[in-house]
A and B are shown apart, each in its own frame.
Chain A
Amino acid sequence: MASEVIHTAGAHAEAHEEGHHELPARVDPDVALSELVATTEANGSAVRTWAWILGILSLVGIVSFGVKVGIEWGDQAKWGYTAAIVAFLFSAFGGAPLVAIAPMIAKANWVRPVARFAQLCSLVSIVISIWMIPLILNLPMLIVDGARRRSIWFEGPDVSPHIWAVVALTTLIISSVGLIWAYGMPDFAVMRDHGTGWKQRFGNWAARGWIGSTVQWRTMRMRIGMMGTLYFFTFVFIHFMLSTDFAMSLVPGWRDAIFPMYHAISSIQAGLAVTVIGIWAARKYLGLEKYLHLDQFWSIGRLMFAFTLLWGYFFISAFIVFWYGRSGSDQMWIDFLILGPYFWVFIGAVLLIWFTPWWWLIWNKVRRSYNGTAIGAGLILAGVFLDRVRLYVAAWSVPEERIHERFLTEYPGTVYPDVMDILIMVGAVAASVLLVILATRVLPILSVWDVQQFNLLYRPVDYMKTKVSLIGKPD
């Protein structure tokens, strides 16, 4: 029925009605190849400057880290902000690869240009692992003062939380590097064939002799599937572990079955937001307008909106149960974690994570604009950060000697960040961003093979008197 009129780069499909965005044009394979490979060199000097700035900030973070270890070791309350930033970074960057994995399963074509960036975010697992070390070492043992405390490890060995945290982080690093590598092999081959200097040599090594044979593509798909699944389960487990061992079980009486899920949901929300900001920046600073269309923003924007509402749902699901329960521990949850020392942080979190993005992203107009979606994403990230501060700083501020209480009766006061905390947090964020930027120097920020595949399966065509797109759905 549809005649195949293929628009190459430069030809503009006409938008036939106001409010409908233009059908994106297809990009010639060789143009796509050279332009995407060029992004690994693009803005060399600016990137170098930024890399220096971020590197110095990370270094300052690590130094303050050392200072803090020296003077505040063993004082649990002092490590709340470190816990918060770790939880935030894992929530935001760790959630991003799911943006690549889930739509892939649903065979959504729009996700292809976005997948690489989303996966690269998982490299942050390296930063998280470093920043986690003092937290793991400061975590109370399972047996405190001769009696077992509440934990998800029940009768497990004394150091279960510590060991499992190490195991989980190792798995996270393996699965994130594995996912990026498995997914990136054809692109390493591209770098081997079209890159220069050390990047070419690195590509040559990492491509492991990729020539693009049918067998290689098939095994690659299998590897991605396996790594994606591993990543997903690690992701779920780490949320379970972080939210319980590093928050819930530090507060006596906090028993909240939905909390790990709440943690994971807001993490996916933040992961979507990070992805939006990443591709927004890629469009703006790397000139990738041709490859990143409204389609991507519109699709992620919709998901972001859905997860914003889900945050509200998961929150109220817990809240209403506690509010109705009125038992001592129920009341404690509300008085300590909401109305308590971090009340204003909580209000800020609710406004930024839920209320404002809800009324912002609800508009089609906003989700149909690059900047509008990116602003929504920024709000959400700020909100998730505040939310993690409220939960983790509060949890870490509870002194260890009260861990056996049935529920907390006297609440510790507000803990404010000191200079070291701020530097550690800034350093962690800087190190994370730096890692992702450095990774885009080795692998193109948009996966070349995915963009080619996108173009292969996507055809703007004439359909009788109108223009539509044909999207192939291979097996």
Chain B
Amino acid sequence: MEIIFNILSIIFIPLIIIGVIEKIKSLLCGRIGNPWYQFLLEFIKLMRKELIVSKRSSFITKIAPFSLFLSVIIATLFVPLINGHPLMSFSYDFVVFAYFLGFSKLLTLLLAMDSGSSFEGMGASREVKFSLLMEASLFLLFASLILVSGQTKLNLMVQLYLIKSPQTIVFALLLIIIFFIFMLLESSRMPIDDPNTHLELTMIHEVMVLDLSCTHLAMMSYANSLKLYIFMSLIINTIIPVSHSLFLALLLNLVALGVLCCIIAVIETLYARIRFTRLSEIMLLTLIGAFILLTLILYMNGVHP
């Protein structure tokens, strides 16, 4: 049963989650805003448009959006979704997870460089700069999770609620904060990147897809939204225990998703975008957080310097 729900959630949740966040943001700003299913409408609109590919671009532009989409889907297979069940799982699968995400990023960069536009090259250089810092902290994080849980499968690693010790709260908090920053970066949300801006010079992710249209753009935005869902699920499964009743699990998952959407919307509403030159400080913060986590866990496990 969980498999069916997992597949359904991979298909549908990314299509509505962005719209829900935007709707909450609008309401918080005192506007009526677009309907909550706006993203879905835009997705359908994009799928029906005519495909335009720049004459200057190579075969990369033709294959990259779909390969990218697929690699994010493959990464999603290892993520615990509803009731902590991933679609696929084996020992050390987190490496596959991380590098399929990384591969999707590589494809985005190639895609951006392929168009030969000065904007997109700029976007690619920005994306690389932050991803570089992210990779290091992601693996430090995985290392500490393995130490604390004794598991090597991604879905079991993140289940921090299983560990019955008061220090777990500290771990969980740090972990959630770091995952949260990853989530904002990977799905290009505020205050790291502004998905609503029309100013090309300030964009990080959006500037790399300026030359795409139709299904290519639809795939890119779907993949972006799916990344948001991946990190949301990771956060949710850190706190919410596996339950025996599937109905209860579904309900809890949806409520948790709603709460996360609200948190994202509130943060996006209350904060202006961080000054670009200070963004690397935020990414370094995740690295430091991951170091602290690892040090704490090593200390608890009896490794004393």
Our verdict on whether A and B bind, yes or no, reads no
Enumerate chain B interface residues (CB-CB to A < 8 A): none
